[in-house]
Structure 1
């Protein structure tokens, strides 16, 4: 095994460019960008740093094989060729946690899973000269992605999905995933010197993710990853160094104006507790307040929000009034930019203005739109300020 590996970072459909930029900013070479995933190259330190620092990916897969297969026999033979013994100790617990297939001849996930497992076992039998594996050691979960008959196999180094930063215990009805919230913030020109308000803050995800960016808090610095248990592949020293690097970059002295409002007092309380767990409660002001009371004396702020979109029929009737209130509140903000993610088809009509751009984004299986209403740029200050990223 050389010291250059390929890693796969799955991300939300429509947000690949954001994930790609984030990986490049960490200093790694982009190999390719496809629907819903970015492949990049690096050493084992890249595996560690990608897990700790990337905000917009779901997990990091260590790519172990890629080949074409249109029959189960081809799938079996190619999987058997992979040197699994380089990854799995003889007591490893290894299985295919997920198989996905798009536009391919082989499409039954359960068949793909069992054939890949069988081929891995055959290879291991030959190498370890054992006929039965107890599988009572560490977990080595495997993922299989088949797209247009090309099979990509990766080891899941993250374990629990990376959107689980560890701060969100209390969740509102239709929460937005942390990774998606971070990617949407990164799609806007917001930076820590600009005001940010979320008038439908729910469990606080947008304000918390923004505050973590502003204070340079790595999203994965307070959680564990599956690969930490793989001492045969990744040195524990690398994880120790990665967490140290994350600690050294945190800057809680940063001054920001970030606010989160919600009409439900219980939800506001939950958002405050989530922010506290994320270590950013001192950087965000949460308040119980309905959207029609949204106002701010200063110019050039940002609204980034995920308003209700009436998943239940009885809520649908309230939406026109709610979106009208939102539109009126936006009209009262001087020179602000507004960004709204919603599945509600009539959003623009009731907000009362046409978005400069809207992007189709899949939030889980739900098709949503990210409506962008950018405001004017603030005049440049006399002293050299941080450029608009």
Structure 2
């Protein structure tokens, strides 16, 4: 339909609402195709916001799939308005729709966008096919040049040698999406090993709907948030990957001669 009208009734009262959005607003307009069980764009943007990412530090997604997290992050860093790639909204079918005013809003929004970033975003995935989808989606969004995507399993993923800190936000499979939970234990073990051994100095945020699999990482979370991915309750956990040990070393306290005399009474 050109325009939707929603009517909700309870007993003798009714509410009528005009749908000015059309398609759901999480549909940004840049995704032609997706991988298996992709994150919705608005959930990806929300996770980035919850992580506290500063929009100026390197960002990594180990399981980037069709690229949604990285694309949303790049758009945020470039000050691109969400939905700016959509071709249509419900309000465009209103009789009093002012196309000239809308075009002016778009132009003002585009004028606030940045042209460059002084950092990179990095995506890894073991599936070459889905990486091609991610690259096309990033191209559609106008951010492909800011994202470095690599065909790599989590077991060998590593940052460029010159990067010693940054942010990781990733959504590994957790059984509800792909296959047998037992087969995923090795994935989480590899994730924990990679974080501990190749990403020291980084902060990592992991979204998972399976708390048993998270324990396979053998890491202690420093923050925890609960979010829903569709109807699945998920944990969004922060892990701070310290260089060396955070523990304060034990020190022997040596008493000087006067202290010893005082102590002896």
Q: Give the TM-score normalised by the residue count of structure 1.
A: 0.57
Match of 1:346 among 207, 212, 223: 212
Q: Distance in 1 between matches of 2:16 and 2:119?
A: 43
Of 163-172 and 261-270, deviating more is 163-172
Describe how 1:303-382 pairs up with structure 2 within 5 A.
303-311=168-176, 314-332=179-197, 333-374=199-240
SS for the counterpart of 1:317 is helix
Question: Larger relative CO (CA 8 A, sep 6+): 1 or 2?
Answer: 2
Please provide the CA RMSD for this pair. 2.3
Larger Rg: 2
User: 2:6 is matched with which residue?
Assistant: 142
Per-residue CA distance 1:182-240 (angstroms, 9 max, x = gap): 010011121232111101000001111111111111121121110122133x5334322
Tell me, yes or no, if the aligned pair for 1:182 and 1:210 is still in contact at 8 Å: yes
Deviation at 1:153, TM superposition (A): 5.0
Secondary structure of 2:238's counterpart equals strand
Partner of 1:195: 58
Q: 2:148 — aligned with what?
A: 285
Q: Is the 8 A contact 2:61 2:123 kept in 1?
A: yes
> Structure 1 residues 253 and 235, CA, compared in 2 at 3 Å: closer, same or farther?
same
CA–CA distance in 1 between the matches of 2:143 and 2:65?
Answer: 16
1:300 equivalent among 158, 165, 173: 165
Give the unaligned 5+ runs of structure 1.
Answer: 1-92, 94-137, 377-389
Q: Deviations over 1:239-297 (max 9, x none)?
A: 22221122112212222210111001111111111100111010100110010112223
> 1:9: which partner in 2?
none
Cα distance in 2 for residues equivalent to 1:280 and 1:316: 34
Alignment of 1:1-389 (within 5 A): 138-142=2-6, 144=8, 154-223=17-86, 224-232=88-96, 234-296=97-159, 297=161, 298-311=163-176, 314-332=179-197, 333-374=199-240
Deviation at 1:142, TM superposition (A): 2.1
For 2:184 and 2:121, the matched residues in 1 are separated by 26
Runs of 4+ off more than 6 Å: none
- What's the CA shift string for 1:72-117, capped at 9, x where partnerless? xxxxxxxxxxxxxxxxxxxxx7xxxxxxxxxxxxxxxxxxxxxxxx
Runs of 5+ consecutive residues of structure 2 not aligned to the other structure: 243-265
Which SS does the other structure have where 2:216 is aligned?
A: helix
User: TM-score w.r.t. structure 2 length?
Assistant: 0.82
Give the distance between the partners of 2:150 and 2:9, measured in 1 at CA: 44
**Superposition deviation, residue 369 in structure 1:** 1.5
